[in-house]
Copies of this chain bind each other. A is one copy, B any other.
Amino acid sequence: MTVSKTAEKSSEKPGDATKGRKDAAEPQGQVHAEALQLGELSEQLGYVLKRAQLKVFENFLRCMASLQLTPAQFSVLLLVEKNPGRNQTEVASTLGILRPNFVALLDNLESRDLCARIRSTNDRRSHILVLTDKGKAVLTRAKKLVATKHESRLNELLGQANREALIGMLSKIANEF
């Protein structure tokens, strides 16, 4: 496969260009070989947020393949570990997960014996959530994987100071936008 030099309008390094175009790969036989110009799109907050989030989730799933945990499942385990005995509704609303999705997520965690729903003694209509021993063990391994394989990539990419600035700005947007 030959690539026209004139089609290389980007100023990215070759290595970066390959990575950046992974999901923009064109099927063979296209008339146009050059990449589309993003124009104003590359400055749209929502667009860059969504692209970054998708890339980070993809990487998370790859790093967590051995434990088969999604970002949402990991969040639930972390939150239940930090707040044992709180009820299902509180955990779901804190994470902003809709009830039907949250029920399906808990069914999955419970079927794998990572988390248990216990009927509340204070309010018989609600269920409190606790981690099982297996859930605690899996979460410990998950945290190590996330720290060493996933979050560490962000430090490599941006540096520690920028990483902190980024998390701070994203939190501000999540709370105040």
The interface of chain A, by Cβ under 8 A from chain B, is: 12, 16, 19-20, 23-27, 29-32, 35-57, 59-60, 71, 74-75, 78-79, 81-83, 86-87, 89-91, 93-94, 96, 120, 122-123, 143, 146, 150-151, 153-154, 157-158, 162, 165-167, 169-177
Contact = CB atoms under 8 A, between A and B. Distances in A.
A172 B71 CA distance: 21
Binding site secondary structure of chain A: helix
Taken together, the copies of this chain in the complex come to 2
Contact of A55 (B23, B48, B153, B173): B173
**7 tightest Cβ-Cβ pairs between the two chains A and B:** A51-B174, A39-B82, A20-B175, A48-B170, A52-B173, A52-B170, A49-B53
